[in-house]
Amino acid sequence: MTGIAKDPYNVIITGVGGQGNVLASRMLGNLLSDQGLFVTIGETFGASQRGGSVMSHLRVSRTSAWSPQIPLGQADLVVSLEPIEAVRVLAQYGNPGIKVLVNSRSIQPVGCISGETAYPPMDDIRKWVAELSAQSWFVDATNAAVKLGHAIFGNVMMVGALSATHELPIEREAFGRAMEAAMGPEKAKKNLQAFDMGAAMVAEAA
């Protein structure tokens, strides 16, 4: 079994309601669970997600289930499907040792659309995230996904990117098998392509 750096290893997947946070956390959870690891996932969905900030908490352990809520300041890794959500999560769950993977495509909060608040410049966000973490990667997953055919591939790219950080034991072959079982060989191929594109983006960002 490939290792985890800490037990439990705490991952937060964050984003905006509608981005596929829940599916992404399930995909990742199943990949880790299939290797014999104990995975606990905590999340909220329902009306609470409509356009709001959403988070999934993943606890990965060799021994047991953990609380579905990660204690404050105790996340080891943040996968952020949207830039400012990374900053929001760091304020609650961050610590100097944390690592952060960010999809750099922004989604404007309605308050920014209406002009009540302003979306911060991307350079500032990069600076803050870098300052609040031990290591960070910004990848342009959504835009690459749109070029591949649909924004929905963005989350698969993020999983591919995550595998390339080597923070968690995610194997390309296991991902391919899971995709094939879930959606057949045709779609699995495209998803594997997205996975590889994500992995390549992290190699470039590093």
Q: How far is the CB of 114 from another protein (least distance, A)?
A: 5
CA distance 165 to 135: 10
Query: For residue 121, what are the CA distances in angstroms to 26, 85, 126, 140, 161?
Result: 32, 14, 9, 16, 24
Q: Which is nearer to another protein, 132 or 162 (CB)?
A: 132
CA distance 17 to 40: 21
Q: Which is nearer to another protein, 3 or 51 (CB)?
A: 51
- The contacts of residue 18 (CB under 8 Å, 6+ apart) are 49, 50, 51
Intra-chain end-to-end CA distance of the chain, in Å: 26
DSSP 8-state assignment for residue 137:
E
Q: How far is the CB of 102 from another protein (least distance, A)?
A: 13
Q: How far is the CB of 115 from another protein (least distance, A)?
A: 6
Q: How far is the CB of 90 from another protein (least distance, A)?
A: 5
Q: Are 167 and 28 a contacting pair, CB within 8 Å?
A: no
Q: Which is nearer to another protein, 2 or 117 (CB)?
A: 117
Q: Which is nearer to another protein, 16 or 164 (CB)?
A: 16
Q: Which is nearer to another protein, 42 or 169 (CB)?
A: 42
CA distance 96 to 109: 28
Q: How far is the CB of 172 from another protein (least distance, A)?
A: 20
Per CB under 8 A, residues contacting another protein are 16, 18, 26, 29-30, 33, 38-48, 50-53, 65-74, 84-85, 87-88, 90-91, 94-96, 105, 107-115, 117-120, 124-125, 128, 131-132, 142, 146, 150-152, 181
Q: Which is nearer to another protein, 46 or 206 (CB)?
A: 46
Residue that the structure tokens 């996932």 belong to: 41
Q: How far is the CB of 1 from another protein (least distance, A)?
A: 14
CA distance 69 to 66: 8
User: Residue 74's CB: how many other CB atoms inside 10 A?
Assistant: 16
